Amino acid sequence: MKVVHVTQPVEAGVAAVVLDLATEQKRRGWDVSIACPPTGWLPRQAGKAGIPLHPWQATRVPGPGTARELLALREILRGQDVVHLHSSKAGLARLVLRGRTPTIFQPHLWSFRVATGLLSRASRFWEARASRWTTMLLCVSDDELEAGRAARVTAPAEVICNGVDTQRLRPQPKPHDTPTAVCVGRLAHQKGQDLLLEAWPRVLAEVPDAELVIVGDGPMAARLKAAKPRHTHWHGHSSDVARHYANADVVVLPSRAEGMALVPLEAMACGRSVVAFDVEGVRQSLGDAGEVVPQLDTAALAQAIAHRLKDPELAATEGKRGRVRAETLFDKDHMTSRIVTLTEKLVAERGPR
């Protein structure tokens, strides 16, 4: 089985999923490789795992260089049994593949959910048209598939939820008594840390000794830090998120949009309660392991955070429920096994080249 994974994001959630899939497929003896930009977390980790890398110089958003990027991909994708495209930029490769090779497209969050105006409408139109070149649409949540269908994406589809390493991410005792909320994620508009900081003074009004830990880096870092919010501590990108989750009473996901975020799954694996805005995949993730509040309602977000900081027993109970959910529903081995089976089926249905 010769398969290539294509991704522009080389950090955070998408990159983690790509590495998990490629590592498992390599373990099974497949000829697996990754096409992505040559610098960042993913290419470093792929090198350590012995997974071949095709350097693909691609920017995050479409622009004047997109045609050149796609021409470079054409050579990389030649001769593959399966091409697995991750996120919207890689999804443009369907223009050069045009269904000639079995093609899995995994949005990891539809681009039209974060774009605005004309760009959002153009993205919807493209995704609907690209359905004819998509052998299988792979969604990470029921909400993500529903959003695609509403945008007239008609390709055959499967929902396989994201997974995390529940052996590496395990509950640890909280090493201090300070009421603490933790937010992990790229510091960007989509991830909503600005909304969390808007809510934070309300939390402090209820829990004056509370501390907020923000883990991550990104384009909004300077602006967010410039506000100098009280009782807030900043950590850059971290490869040891378990240490930060261990310090939390509650983990907060203030995102404006997601497909199915990894942070709640990681937090649950670590036995921590989660509070999140009602975005795609969150209700399916959390169940009774935290609280989902109306999207963009910062007052409700603050109330839910403060409630758990004032009642650590509630947070601990939710954390225990979350650990069970992570083990039974969101373990990465379950995810990778299902995608391996799906990929094998696509190749078998196509028959010999």
Domain residue spans of the chain: 2-163+332-350, 180-329
In 260-311, which residue ranges form alpha helices assigned H by DSSP? Answer: 262-269, 282-286, 298-310
CA atoms of 230 and 241, how far apart (whole Å)? 23
Q: What percentage of the chain exceeds 70 in pLDDT? A: 99
Assign domain 2-163+332-350 to its CATH superfamily.
Answer: Glycogen Phosphorylase B; (3.40.50.2000)
The answer to whether the CB of 51 falls within 8 A of the CB of 32 is: yes
Q: Is the pLDDT of residue 83 over 70?
A: yes
Average pLDDT over residues 274-289: 96
> CA quadruple 212, 215, 218, 221: dihedral positive or negative?
positive
> How confident is the model at residue 10, as a pLDDT?
85
Identify the pLDDT of residue 351.
62
Contact indicator for 270, 246 with CB cutoff of 8 Å: yes
Q: Quote the pLDDT of residue 196.
A: 97
Q: What is the side-by-side order of every strand in the sheet holding 250-253?
A: 232-235, 211-215, 180-184, 250-253, 273-277, 290-293
Superfamily for 180-329? Glycogen Phosphorylase B; (3.40.50.2000)
pLDDT at 264 over 90: yes
User: Tokens 């958003």 correspond to what residue?
Assistant: 61
For 234: left if phi > 0, alpha if psi spans -120 to 50, otherwise beta; the answer is beta
pLDDT at residue 116, as a whole number: 78
User: Is residue 281 pLDDT above 90, yes or no?
Assistant: yes
- For residue 352, pLDDT beyond 80: no
pLDDT above 70 for 353: no
Angle between helices 12-27 and 262-269 (to 10 degrees): 70
Q: Convert the pLDDT of each residue in 98-143 to its tens digit.
A: 888 999 999 998 888 887 788 889 889 989 999 999 999 999 999 9
* pTM for this prediction: 0.89
Question: Does 65 have pLDDT greater than 80?
Answer: no
Same fold for the pair 2-163+332-350 and 180-329: yes
Mean pLDDT over residues 181-188, rounded? 94
CA 231/CA 168 separation, integer angstroms: 30
Residues 101, 96: Cα–Cα separation, whole Å: 10
Residue 108 gets which letter from DSSP? S
Distance spanning both ends of the chain, measured CA to CA? 12
Q: Are 189 and 158 in contact (CB under 8 A)?
A: no
Which pLDDT belongs to residue 78?
A: 87
Q: What is the pLDDT of residue 245?
A: 97
| Alpha-carbon span 247 to 227, nearest angstrom | 24
At 233, the pLDDT band (50, 70, 90 cuts) reads: very high
Q: What share of the chain is helix, strand, coil (3-state, %, to 5)?
A: 45, 15, 35
For the chain, the average pLDDT equals 92
The predicted pLDDT at position 298 comes to 97
